[in-house]
Amino acid sequence: MGTLISVASGKGGVGKSVVSANLALALAKRGRRIILADLDVGGADVHIMFGELNPSVTLTDFLNKRVGRLDDVAIPVTICPALRLIAGTGDTLATANMVYARKKRLMKQLRDLDVDIVVIDIGAGTNYHALDFFLMADLHLAVATPEPTSVLDLYRFIKLAAIRRVLACFLARSPLSEVLSNRDFTSVEEVMEIAGVTDAEGRDAAEAVLQSFRPGLIINRMSNGFQVNVLYLRKVLHQYIGGDLTLLGEIPEDPHVSQAVRRFLPVVEAAPESPAAKGLLAMAAAVEQLVAASAGGSKEKTKQSEEKQTRVLLSNPAFTQDSHDSLALRPEVPPISRQSARDNTIQSTNGRVP
């Protein structure tokens, strides 16, 4: 079993698939056996970046059981023998809105792939599929751009992921699991207060899970005018969610990226000396260090915990809806004004980040 790395974003259009494709190729070029799985159900396009305009097999073949093993739909990438691609689906309504049994089978076989690393490109937004695929991984990466809307959507995504992860701790053991699963929670602390009253041990377990929840942040399309105040964002996440954030890379705005896409190549292959390629390669090196650090006993412990939580989520009726509608959670943001969010979270590079 390899290390699973999920790449997600709070909104579309931030370059998540570009990051996923270049990360997978960069890791493969560093000697790792890699599978890049496009799980952006309903909007898969990673195969285009490798020139596979009409893949011979796709995720749809696996989901519809025309192919028995997920490994059998992983096609080789011509430019790098160490990299294989699971082309995404979305060409039918049924596959774009996969049911519980299909999702469970897919998640299990992702774990069983015989490679070093599986990079999972996840659809944007906070639907059930996106959150479940994001949380099932060993390492969680979140992509955002410096725009205020992207940063706030990133916060919402991480908040909902944390709520779903904490709920799993209580649903696994609480006699009130049915009540909890049907309640509309707006914050992690609300889950803690309501479920923790009758389950002190569950609260301790949930707090431990939150402390280990450290998504890696990748800022894409950085320009000369603005930068994300990562320290402020970390403070907000810690205060309102209880988790933390690790900055793994900043990718500059670079016309070489769009030029590479038009050539059906990742930019690290098409223009390896470009600013964006250098930023992506540095990010891949940081990710590889995290993979190495997670390879010991702590990884095994975390994996068992994640698998247990995944089983709970998937076996609970409230979390196995066939639709891909967003979670019934109000997208509450921290109690700061719009202007304050702009001033504090995004600052001119001429100023000093607190």
For residues 131 and 275, what is the distance between their CA atoms, to the nearest angstrom? 31
Q: For residue 326, give the DSSP letter.
A: B
Q: Looking at residue 239, what is its pLDDT? A: 72
Is residue 216 within 8 A of residue 233, CB to CB? The reply is no
pLDDT means over runs of 10, the chain (354 residues): 93 93 97 94 86 91 92 96 90 67 92 96 85 93 90 89 84 64 78 75 80 89 77 77 83 96 97 98 96 68 55 48 35 36 40 35
With CA atoms as reference, report the closest residue to 46 among 33, 54, 36, 32: 36
pLDDT of residue 90: 61
Both tokens of 330, joined, read 């109000």
Q: Please tell me the distance from the alpha carbon of residue 98 to that of residue 132, in angstroms, as a whole number.
A: 13
Count of CB atoms within 10 A of residue 36's CB? 30
Of 71, 27, 86, the residue nearest 266 (C-alpha): 27
pLDDT at 22: 98
Nearest Cα residue to 31 out of 140, 141, 121, 117: 117
Return d(Cα 159, Cα 152) in angstroms, integer.
Answer: 11
User: How far is Cα 348 from Cα 225, in angstroms, rounded to an integer?
Assistant: 6
The pLDDT value given to residue 311: 56
Contact 152, 233 (CB under 8 A): no
CA dihedral sign of residues 290, 291, 297, 300 = positive
**What DSSP element (H or E) covers 328?**
none
Q: What is the pLDDT of residue 225?
A: 65
Contact, 115 vs 1, CB < 8 A? no
Bridge-based pairing of strands 226-228 and 346-348 is antiparallel
